[in-house]
Every structure is written in structure tokens, then in C-alpha cells.
Structure 1
Amino acid sequence: MPKHLLPTTVVGSYPQPDWLVDRAMLSKVVPRTRMHAMWRPPEEHLEEAQDDATIVAIRDMERAGIDIVTDGEIRRESYSNRFATALEGIDIDNPAIITARSGQSTPVPRVVGAVRRTRPVELRDMQFLRRNTAHAAKITLPGPFTMSQQAKNEYYADDEELAMAFAAAVNEEALDLQSAGADVIQLDEPWVRNNPEVAKRYAVKAINRALRGITVPTVVHLCFGYAAVVPGSTKPAGYSFLAELADTSADQISIEAAQPRLDLGVLKELSSKTILLGVLDLGNPEIETVEIVADRIRQGLKYVAPERLVPAPDCGMKYMPRAIAFGKLKAMADAAAIVRGELG
């Protein structure tokens, strides 16, 4: 792990190449069920193509100067669906349809039996990442609360019971990922702010169950949604579920702050945690100047001690053009170096 102040990282995803995925199809939705048609290579060549694209993503992060890299989530159609649909108890052939308040209909996994992890899902991904970088390596998993909110429960007595079953499956996976060399393990839990009243009942309990026995640094990430899918004008200026994460066993909390212009005073409520601060606005198609990003880091330092601040993008970068994503990451790495120098 980096020893210097203000180590930079990514939230998880990096843009998948156009030769690998149909980006027009991808841009329409954040899939909850599998979307096999998104992949361009035929099945017999898909794994090799994904491996090659993963190496490209890793090298881009390294060239940009990122300290803690991921595999770019290149093998995933979304941050959550690959893991969620690999579990026993999920009917992947007959999804349910839920209608959001916006009126949009989305296919989601149907839970028809006991949720169990019967095989590793991301283990090879972590092994591949570890073989292909000497940098600190982070891997991400969908959080149990979020997965329970993205599924149709047709088996468990209530959604809390479902969330705890997902938590047990995530924990088994996380323990394997830790053994495979993960330096950091992150849970993506954006839905805690979608349904804060329900989250207050059992989200922390589920997150803590998912992280049981993990000894490497752990992160909980929450955001307001991909900038390509959720316009910045609709994003709130504050989180409805944030201070509660102080009670999680996670070492670090990752938040979106740049695009929604978050009031960073809320970070005082997480004084026991390291903060992954979103300093890259992914809704802005322009590459921020180094000075703009440096100033966002300085603003964070008004509320968080330097040893507890990790500059990061607001969210995953998969929906962005690759050249823009790379430029933003380089600006962030350069900005962190400048502010690090100011700290002495």
C-alpha cells in the first residue's frame, strides 16, 4: 500500500473499449440482469478479449499515476449484475420487471430460493489483476443492501432476511479475494441513499456481515448514480444516509462530491473513517485542470486530516470516453502530487 499522503485511487470501473462492448447498448441502462448481447467478441474469444482490455485499463491507470488500481471492472456489464446473477437461488432466465417512480421499467433478478454462493465469481479477476500490476490493487463487490433492493424477493420472509443472505455470499467471496492478494476490498452501496429509511433499519448490519473477517482495508462506496444516467441537475446537494456509515466496520467511505458540489461539512460526521473524496466531476465532458482538482482536494482537507484523505473520481468511469477518463485521472494524480508537496 502507498505510504505517502493523499494516495489516489479509482472507484472501480474504467471505460471498456468499443471493440469489446456495444457502447450504444450499454449507454441506455445500468443492467441488473445479464446483457450478453452487449459483448462484441464471440463467446469462444470473449475471455481473452476481456483479459486484453483489462491489461489496457490497468496500464492506463498506472500511466496516469494512480496509486491504488483496479481491474477496471472490464468483465462486468454493470457493477452489480455479474455477482448477483451468479448466486444460487436467483432465476436468471425469468427476470421480474419493476417500474421506477420515473415510469421506467427495468428487468431485475428474481429470488426464488435460498441465496448461496456456490462458486467464486471474481476470484480469477483478482488473480489476473494481482499478476498484472505491482501497484496496490483494489477489487469491488456489490453491497448486500443494494443487491437486495435491485431484486424481486419471492422467497424470503422480508427484504432484511434477503439482504443478510446476500451479505453472507459477499463475505465468502471477499475472503477469497483477500486470499488472492487484494490490498483493498470495496462494497458498492449506492442504494442506501435511494431508500434511507429502510437502510437505517438494516444496511449497516448487512455491510458488517459482508465484511466479517476481512483484515485488509475495506471501503463502502455510495454515490448519486452514474453521471451518464443521472443528470447532475437532478442530484441532491447532500446524502440522506451518510453519518450512519460511521457504525460500519469499513475503514473507508467513498463519496461523490464534485458534480453535486457536496457540502463537505458532512465529513465531520465520519471522523473515524478515511474518506475517498470524489474530486472528478464525471458529468463534465471536459478534463478538469490540475488546479481545479487540487483546489477540490484542498477543500476536503479543511474537514479531513491529510492522512485520512484519498482523492478519487466521483463514481465509476465506464460510461466515459477513454481519452477523457485517462485525462481526468492524470489531472487528479498531478493535483494530488501538488497538494502533497504543499503539506511538506
Structure 2
Amino acid sequence: MILPTEPIGSIPRPPWLLAGIADHAAGRIDTAALDTLYDDAVRDTIARLEALGSPVVTDGEQSKPSFATYPVQGVSDLAPDGAVIPFADGHTRQLPRLTAGPFRYAVRSEHYVRAARKHATAPVKQAVIAPSALSLLYPDGGIAGYDRQAFLDDLVDEAEADIRSAFAAGAHSVQLDFTEGRLSVKLDPSKGVLDAFVTLNNRVLDRFSDDERARIGVHTCPGGDQDSTHSLDVDYAELLPHLFALHAGVFYVQLASEPDPDRVLAAIASHSRPDQRIFIGVTDPIDPVVETAELVRDRVLRAAEHIPPDRLGTCDDCGFAPFGDDVSTSRDTAWAKIRARIEGTALAAQQL
């Protein structure tokens, strides 16, 4: 049998690209020169993924400033003092704050799909940010003349258009990044925020047909940035029943870094639907130790004890560098881990 295996999204940017981004910010190179560097990084990323035998490729998010804020890159109606996301090691990330409406994306994911497909022979998967994450841009104090309901209506329209643009540009599949799901349980144990996130995301997903939703996945993890997480201490059992209420056909679930994977796998088996495919994380991007193919194989075989193999796939726990300035994991380490995932998945498939 064949088990599908896919990257989640971001790959560490090569040092020469990071240097070019710094040069552009300092005015030493122009935008055209930076765009050439971005294209070179995308070409190199896809070539390396295909050389490793990855059946599905991504652009590695080489030209995204971050996995979360790419749609609003260049939007003028933003202030820098938005919601703060704390990580376990003490560092934080801060989202921008919307200051006026109507809300519109400035960049759609079709841009990234087209750039990737110029260089890819394998199917291209596109990661997009879930509307629930972008809902955090709206300030608690509201916006004069633009209430929260009007914002959410615009957000749903924009998120739908973003996904459709990726498919129209030739994406094989689309993945919604939903890292805020687990974090919301930490910030609001009543799960009112989580339920609101699920409802909002389903407003978008319900605009797609069953066949389209079979090509739309949702990624969950406890956040991975600078070798730290924001919600690994949240019990998965608190999230998973709500996660699988999302009307998506595919789920990418961080698992390699979980202390009790069998417990999580049992919960997945209990709460997921038979029509939902589950990709389990078999490599941990924030652990500097590179997994062996044999360890990956064993993780897959353990998962197959809980999830039927015809519904099973593998992935990395998270992206390797979801924020553009994260250099905590080297590009070479990422390739080694991806190789282990691909080879280990093949070993498990042979045994199954």
C-alpha cells in the first residue's frame, strides 16, 4: 500500500535570502532584486523536496513574512499593537490591529501557488491562514462605523476568495493553519472562544462542495517558533472533539512532540469521522535531534493501531520556520527530517 506524506508549509529560508531581505529593508537592493531572490529560494526549495521524493510540494513559505499575516502585508489600516501571543520560553509575537474597515486581503494565496507551479512537477499544496486567526485583528474596543459582525462577514468573504484563488491557480490541496485553536483553550478554558473559532471557520468551509472540502485540510499544533511553543501544555483531549467538528476532509495533527501519543491517537479515533483523513506528525521541527526512518516507521505503525491505514498519512508536526525571522532550525536539519519522514513512511507502508 501507499501512505501519503506531506510537508506542513514553511522551510527555513536560506542565509542568502535572509541577507537579501535585510538588504532590501536597508535600501541596499530594490524590490525586483528581492523578488529574484524569492524566486530562487522557491525554486531551490521545490527542487530539494522533489529530489527527496516528496509526492506533494510547497513553496516553503519562502516569500511570506509569516504564515499568519501574509494576507495583510501592505494593508494601510493597521496598527502594530494588536493581540500578543506568549510562548513558553518567554518570547512573544504580536499581531497587528485593524483600525478601519472594510477588511480586505492585500495578498491572495494564488500569488504563491503560481510562483511555485513555475518550478514544480509534483502537485503543489498551499497553506493559508484560517479566518479564525485573522479574526484576532479586530480590536476589543471595536471600530467606529465598522462593527465586529460586519468585519466577520467581510473576513468570511475574503477567506473563501483566498482558498478559491489557490485552487484556481492550480493548487492540488489547501491547508488551513489553525494553531490558534489549541491556544484558545489555554486563554479561555470555557472553550467559548474555541467554539466561536470553529463556527467562523465552518462559515467558510460550508461555502465549498463536498468534493472541494475533500481537498481542504486543517493543521493543528501548539505553535512552533524559535524552538518554543505556546500551548503544548494544553491537553489535546480539550481540543480534539471541537477540531473534528470542522467541516474539512483532511486534518494534519502534531503528534511527534506529544508525551503520550497513544492517548492522543485514541482520542483522534474516537472523535474523527470515517470520511476524514488524518495526517499525523512524525517529525518534531523544534527538536534538533533528527529522527531516523525507523523511528518514523514505528510512529506510523503505532498510529495504524488506532486509525485505519486507508485514512492515515504523515506530516511534520509544524512548519519549520513559520515566521520569516526564525533561524532556530537550520535548512539542512529540516531536509534531514523531511528525508526521514518520507523514507520512514515508505517503510511503514511496506510493513502494513
Shorter-chain-normalised TM-score: which range?
Answer: 0.7 to 0.9
Q: Which residue of 1 aligns with 2:298?
A: 295
User: 1:93-172 counterparts in 2 under 5 A?
Assistant: 94-99=79-84, 106-117=93-104, 120-149=107-136, 152-153=139-140, 154-155=142-143, 157-158=147-148, 162-172=151-161
* Structure 2 unaligned regions, length at least 5: 186-190
Once the two structures are TM-superposed, the CA of residue 118 in structure 1 deviates from its matched residue by: 5.9
Structure 1 distance, partners of 2:85, 2:5, is: 35
* Structure 1 unaligned regions, length at least 5: 26-35
**Cα pair 1:22 1:38 within 8 Å, conserved:** no
Structure 2 distance, partners of 1:38, 1:141, is: 29
**Equivalent residue in structure 2 for 1:258, among 238, 253, 256:** 256
Once the two structures are TM-superposed, the CA of residue 106 in structure 1 deviates from its matched residue by: 4.8
User: 1:1-344 counterparts in 2 under 5 A?
Assistant: 5-21=2-18, 37=25, 42-85=30-73, 91-92=77-78, 94-99=79-84, 106-117=93-104, 120-149=107-136, 152-153=139-140, 154-155=142-143, 157-158=147-148, 162-196=151-185, 197-211=191-205, 212-213=207-208, 215=212, 217-226=215-224, 228-230=226-228, 235-236=233-234, 238-261=236-259, 262=261, 263-268=264-269, 269-272=271-274, 273-318=276-321, 319=326, 320-343=329-352
| Amino acid in structure 2 at the alignment position of 1:11 | I
Cα 1:86/1:189, change in 2 over 3 Å: farther
Cα 1:79/1:302, change in 2 over 3 Å: same
Once the two structures are TM-superposed, the CA of residue 9 in structure 1 deviates from its matched residue by: 0.4
| Amino acid in structure 1 at the alignment position of 2:77 | D
Q: Deviations over 1:223-244 (max 9, x none)?
A: 1011534259964452532221
Cα 1:100/1:52, change in 2 over 3 Å: closer
Cα 1:200/1:283, change in 2 over 3 Å: closer
Cα 1:133/1:39, change in 2 over 3 Å: farther
Cα 1:100/1:250, change in 2 over 3 Å: closer
Counterpart secondary structure, 1:113: coil
TM-score of the aligned structures, taking structure 1 as reference length: 0.84
Q: Deviations over 1:55-87 (max 9, x none)?
A: 111111111221111111111121011113456
RMSD: 2.9
Cα 1:282/1:227, change in 2 over 3 Å: farther
Higher strand fraction (1 or 2): 1
Once the two structures are TM-superposed, the CA of residue 340 in structure 1 deviates from its matched residue by: 1.1
| Amino acid in structure 2 at the alignment position of 1:329 | I
| Amino acid in structure 1 at the alignment position of 2:161 | E
Structure 2 distance, partners of 1:307, 1:291, is: 21
Once the two structures are TM-superposed, the CA of residue 150 in structure 1 deviates from its matched residue by: 5.1
| Amino acid in structure 2 at the alignment position of 1:117 | R
Cα 1:230/1:201, change in 2 over 3 Å: same
Structure 2 distance, partners of 1:143, 1:104, is: 23
Pairs aligned (count): 326
Stretch of structure 1 that moved more, 46-55 or 315-324: 315-324
Cα 1:206/1:336, change in 2 over 3 Å: same
**Cα pair 1:61 1:69 within 8 Å, conserved:** yes
**Cα pair 1:12 1:140 within 8 Å, conserved:** yes
Structure 1 distance, partners of 2:231, 2:198, is: 29
Q: Which residue of 2 aligns with 1:28?
A: none
